[in-house]
Amino acid sequence: MSNAMKLCVSLDLSSAEENLELVKQIKDFDVWLKVGFRTYIRDGKSFLEKIKAINPNFKIFLDLKLYDIPNTMADAAQEIANFGLVDMFNVHASSGVEAMSTVMNRIKDIPNKPLVLAVTALTSFDNDAFKAIYNEDIKTKARQFAIDTYNSGVDVVVCSAYESFDIKNNTSKEFITLCPGIRPFGEDSGDQKRVADIAFAKKNLVDFIVVGRPIYKSSNPKNVVEEILKNI
């Protein structure tokens, strides 16, 4: 993977038709597409096929955040990898080293296997809400989750832009970070707490930025994508 920051566009609209219309508008750009829980439950594997039909070079990030016992997670990971459509999918780092290692071992021999990401702390958490559940500050726990992720052989860690630099310092500068909650040019944060703009993400060595609402709620999504790509 090149060192240039990559843009991942969230397909979070309320129907497959709206999402596919957005995909058509940005089909000529070198971007990744994130397919989340609601979209996948509603539209299924055929939706992934429709994306590839629009542009077979699109990279798909299937954002299902697998979290279960190790064998069940590995079974699901194997099915996703065998689709031959998904370029990246995620698990929860809090599932533990055994679960993450089991997932990685299960898919290691699958041709063109997807990248695997592990989620540290959701960007909807502020520190108080996170601490109420995990009994530690976000920065401390996210760092430990990231170290566990790295030691499990997982490819990418999901964190906010605020943790990216610290995580790389405590694992490897080459360890890939993907950061949701990006408001490229300081747009409204909505329900996200730990948001950042492009400049902050670049300063903190983020590899992937995930952008949703600033793109799909725009009257001209194509122009917004173009402007983001100019700035990364």
Task: Measure Cα distances from 23 to 16, 34, 44, 230 in Å.
Answer: 10, 11, 16, 19
Task: Measure Cα distances from 45 to 14, 50, 87 in Å.
Answer: 17, 9, 13
Residues 6+ apart with CB under 8 A from 127: 137, 138
Closest by CA to 88, choosing from 58, 122, 63, 56, is 63
**H helices then E strands: how many in the chain?**
10, 8
Residues 6+ apart with CB under 8 A from 130: 121, 137, 138, 141
Q: Cβ distance 181 to 202 under 8 Å?
A: no
For residue 65, indicate whether it is catalytic. Answer: yes
Which residue in the list 45, 65, 202, 217 is annotated as catalytic? 65
User: Position of tokens 């996210």?
Assistant: 142
**Reduced to 3 states, what is the DSSP secondary structure of residue 106?**
helix
User: Position of tokens 């009257």?
Assistant: 219
Beta strands in 18-71, from DSSP E residues, in sequence order = 32-36, 59-66
Q: What is the dihedral of CA 58, 215, 67, 206, to 10 degrees?
A: 80
As annotated, the active-site residues are: 65
